[in-house]
């Protein structure tokens, strides 16, 4: 098992995308922001950080009131250029449609109730639009490095799966069947189905409303001239994620559930031939001395024989508690190394305070980049 050299990764001009992945609550958003800030300030790279997580922690830590679908410059940098943004899937979907069809056709699509549902709430739309937005950022050429903060782990896998899944839905047999029933068509597919179509229509109308079939048919017909582009762009972005210009970093904490998720995600990335370059283990209990817990407890007991209130004895017992906790965390974390022995790692201690500003992000980035692993 080797150590992960984050500064080497951030300064590598051949790397253009770094995707931070992991389960919820492991410090993934903070990690993404800290790496983006360090890449900009210490390595002179024009950087943008994109979060798909709707939480507002990224904006707060960057000293911004809010983030939206447009990259905004981060102020207060010591050097370099850093922008930040948060994915708005509805806005991204609207922008994609508007840029690939006529103004009148786009207006028809936007007004369609089925489009409104798909673009706002349909499962996988957020991740699909994340692929679109990532592709747009790459195509713009404005940034040397894009740092991506993905949703919590199993959902983050949708970031890889969503384009194909949404494509299968929009290109599936039912949708094609419904698209053939566009009002006014002379020989709609539903009319060819006869009585069965009538029953099918009545059931859908009863459950989902009388205009569902019309909405779906009109939506699919309107999207016909743009959908092929959706698929091609998503496939191109997926291929870019498999390229050496991208790095995936798995973020975890020394807890069984988080480590299990990290192992699961790492294996999946490997199966998909995605460039997994390392694992960042956050929030290890800090232990300032190498004194084993048993020796600390023995020394504390000896001191307490003469003075039960001895402050040194109390400090030794506190150290013993921390050492035991750290040893337990190391055993849990070792499961990742056993399952993924070839993935470089960096282990980081719990910070003394919550990261809420640029200075905190700088400190986190410096610690991560200069960490000496203790395994």
Tens digit of each residue's pLDDT, the chain (375 residues): 578 999 999 999 999 999 998 888 898 889 999 999 999 999 999 999 998 766 677 788 888 878 888 999 999 999 999 999 988 888 888 887 888 777 888 888 888 877 787 777 766 677 777 778 888 898 899 999 999 988 765 655 666 776 666 656 655 554 555 555 444 443 444 444 444 445 444 554 454 444 555 566 566 655 555 555 666 776 777 788 889 999 999 999 999 999 999 999 899 899 888 999 999 999 999 887 778 888 888 888 888 888 888 888 888 888 889 889 999 999 999 999 999 999 999 999 987 778 888 999 999 999 988 754 444
Q: How far apart are CA 263 and CA 259, in angstroms?
A: 6
Examine the domain organization and report whether 144 and 15 are in the same domain.
Answer: yes
Q: Phi and psi (nearest 5°) for 160?
A: -85, -35
What CATH number corresponds to the domain at position 143? 3.40.50.300
Contact between 32 and 55 under an 8 Å Cβ cutoff? The reply is: no
Examine the domain organization and report whether 129 and 199 are in the same domain.
Answer: yes
Neighbouring CB atoms inside 10 A of 220's CB total 23
Nearest to residue 84, comparing CAs of 100, 103, 63? Answer: 63
Does the residue 242 lie in any domain? yes
What pLDDT, on a 0 to 100 scale, did the predictor assign at position 5? 94
What pLDDT, on a 0 to 100 scale, did the predictor assign at position 374? 45
Neighbouring CB atoms inside 10 A of 168's CB total 10
Examine the domain organization and report whether 163 and 263 are in the same domain.
Answer: yes
Examine the domain organization and report whether 195 and 141 are in the same domain.
Answer: yes
Does the residue 234 lie in any domain? yes
Examine the domain organization and report whether 244 and 228 are in the same domain.
Answer: yes
What pLDDT, on a 0 to 100 scale, did the predictor assign at position 332? 95
Measuring CA to CA, how many Å separate 351 from each of 30, 361, 364?
Answer: 12, 11, 8
Does the residue 114 lie in any domain? yes
Domain of residue 110 covers 6-289+324-370
Contact between 222 and 155 under an 8 Å Cβ cutoff? The reply is: no
Does the residue 269 lie in any domain? yes
What pLDDT, on a 0 to 100 scale, did the predictor assign at position 204? 46
Domain count, the chain: 2
Examine the domain organization and report whether 275 and 318 are in the same domain.
Answer: no
Neighbouring CB atoms inside 10 A of 317's CB total 17
Q: How far apart are CA 200 and CA 193, in angstroms?
A: 10
Nearest to residue 131, comparing CAs of 107, 156, 98? Answer: 156
Contact between 21 and 250 under an 8 Å Cβ cutoff? The reply is: yes
Examine the domain organization and report whether 105 and 233 are in the same domain.
Answer: yes
What pLDDT, on a 0 to 100 scale, did the predictor assign at position 2? 74
Examine the domain organization and report whether 143 and 219 are in the same domain.
Answer: yes
Take residue 70 and report the two structure tokens written for it. Answer: 């447009």
Q: Are strands 246-252 and 72-73 parallel, antiparallel or unpaired?
A: unpaired
Examine the domain organization and report whether 97 and 55 are in the same domain.
Answer: yes
Does the residue 40 lie in any domain? yes
Contact between 231 and 167 under an 8 Å Cβ cutoff? The reply is: yes
Examine the domain organization and report whether 234 and 222 are in the same domain.
Answer: yes
Contact between 124 and 166 under an 8 Å Cβ cutoff? The reply is: yes
Examine the domain organization and report whether 230 and 308 are in the same domain.
Answer: no
Nearest to residue 332, comparing CAs of 258, 251, 250? Answer: 258
Does the residue 375 lie in any domain? no
Contact between 89 and 119 under an 8 Å Cβ cutoff? The reply is: yes
Examine the domain organization and report whether 363 and 298 are in the same domain.
Answer: no
Does the residue 1 lie in any domain? no
Does the residue 280 lie in any domain? yes
């Amino acid at each position: 098992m080797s150590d992960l050299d984050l500064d080497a990764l951030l300064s590598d001009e051949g790397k253009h995308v770094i995707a931070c992945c992991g389960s919820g609550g492991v410090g993934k958003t903070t990690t993404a922001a800290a790496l983006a800030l360090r890449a900009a300030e210490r390595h002179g790279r024009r950087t943008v950080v994109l979060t798909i997580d709707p939480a507002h922690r990224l904006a707060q830590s960057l000293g911004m009131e809010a983030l939206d679908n447009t990259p905004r410059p981060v102020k207060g940098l010591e050097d370099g250029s850093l922008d930040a943004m948060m994915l708005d899937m509805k806005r991204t979907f609207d922008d994609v449609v508007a840029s690939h069809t006529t103004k009148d056709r786009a207006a028809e699509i936007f007004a369609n109730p089925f489009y409104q549902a798909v673009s706002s709430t349909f499962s996988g739309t957020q991740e699909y639009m994340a692929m679109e937005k990532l592709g747009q950022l790459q195509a713009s050429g404005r940034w040397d490095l894009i740092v991506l903060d993905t949703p919590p782990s199993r959902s983050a896998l949708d970031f890889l799966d969503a384009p194909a899944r949404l494509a299968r839905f929009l290109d599936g047999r039912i949708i094609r069947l419904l698209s053939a029933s566009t009002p006014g068509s002379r020989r709609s597919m539903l009319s060819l189905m006869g009585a069965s179509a009538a029953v099918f229509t009545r059931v859908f109308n009863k459950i989902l409303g009388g205009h569902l079939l019309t909405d779906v048919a009109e939506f699919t017909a309107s999207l016909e001239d743009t959908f092929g582009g959706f698929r091609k762009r998503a496939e191109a972005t997926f291929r870019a994620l498999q390229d050496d210009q991208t790095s995936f970093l798995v973020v975890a904490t020394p807890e069984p559930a988080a480590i299990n998720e990290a192992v699961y995600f790492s294996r999946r990335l490997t199966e998909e031939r995605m460039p997994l370059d390392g694992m960042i283990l956050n929030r290890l209990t800090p232990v300032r001395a190498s004194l084993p817990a048993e020796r600390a407890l023995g020394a504390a007991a000896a001191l307490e024989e003469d003075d039960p209130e001895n402050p040194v004895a109390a400090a030794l017992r506190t150290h013993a508690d921390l050492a035991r906790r750290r040893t337990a965390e190391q055993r849990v974390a070792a499961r990742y190394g056993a399952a993924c022995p070839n993935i470089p790692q960096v282990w980081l201690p719990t910070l003394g305070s919550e990261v809420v500003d640029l200075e905190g992000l700088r400190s986190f980035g410096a610690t991560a980049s200069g960490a000496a692993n203790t395994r």
